[in-house]
Amino acid sequence: MTQYIGLIPAAGTGSRMGVDLPKQYLDIAGHPMIYYAVRAMATSPLMAAVYVVLAADDDWWDSYDWREFGDKLHVLRCGGATRAESVSNGLAAMDADMQDWVLVHDAARPCLTTELIARLVAAVGNTEIGGLLAIPVADTLKRASGAHVAQTESRDGLWQAQTPQMFRHGLLQQALKTNSGFVPTDEASAVEVLGYAPLLVAADSSNFKVTYPNDLRMARLILEQAILEQTND
């Protein structure tokens, strides 16, 4: 029986945040940021297991209590120098079948919900290739030359990729191994190089990636409000 398995690469340092610890461990409402990505996947009834890929020298993970997720959560200390390498190493180390669906999610997207996971699985689960959450680009796009505008780019047909990105274990493993000389910034781009066209699944702008300090403040507001609403219910 085909399973849905979560994979969260978390071996990066988050240097653009300007902090002394990896950004996935920055505090949001009493928990490290990565906790919320893990929670969304681990509490989804669709997910059979969740794997987190850490750097071998990660000293932060074990300082937190992860027992609430039980045997569904697995830690792999095989992170690589790039996201693609961490995902590839995680695929090789996890207990999965070639036909299982793997949902790769950024540790720095803490506002993922179980509803978005369900939407992705419902849309992609019957396809042959796979797909990803994304949103149509709404802002006007400018190509820069130094600090000045070189030209305005058409946003027609452009989407902003999010995660999770969902592909069969075997296909994703092949894609990440095949792209010699090309370092993909997401799983979909690796699969695209093989000649496939992943499905775009409309998501929500709240599922943004925390990259800069202002993003962290926004994520805190969203998650603190969600916690307050759950408490009031």
Specify the CATH number for the domain of residue 9: 3.90.550.10
Domain that holds residue 90: 4-232
pLDDT of 179: 63
pLDDT of 131: 98
Nearest to 57 by CA among 109, 118, 13: 13
Q: How many domains does the chain have?
A: 1
pLDDT of 228: 84
For residue 153, the cross-strand partners are 141
CA distance 108 to 87: 15
List the end-to-end C-alpha distance of the chain, in Å, as a whole number: 36
Q: Is the pTM of this model over 0.85?
A: yes
pLDDT of 182: 82
Sign of CA dihedral 47, 173, 112, 32: positive
Query: What are the per-10-residue average pLDDT scores of the chain (233 residues)?
Result: 95 65 92 98 98 96 97 97 95 96 98 98 95 97 96 96 98 87 91 96 96 94 88 75
CA distance 114 to 44: 5
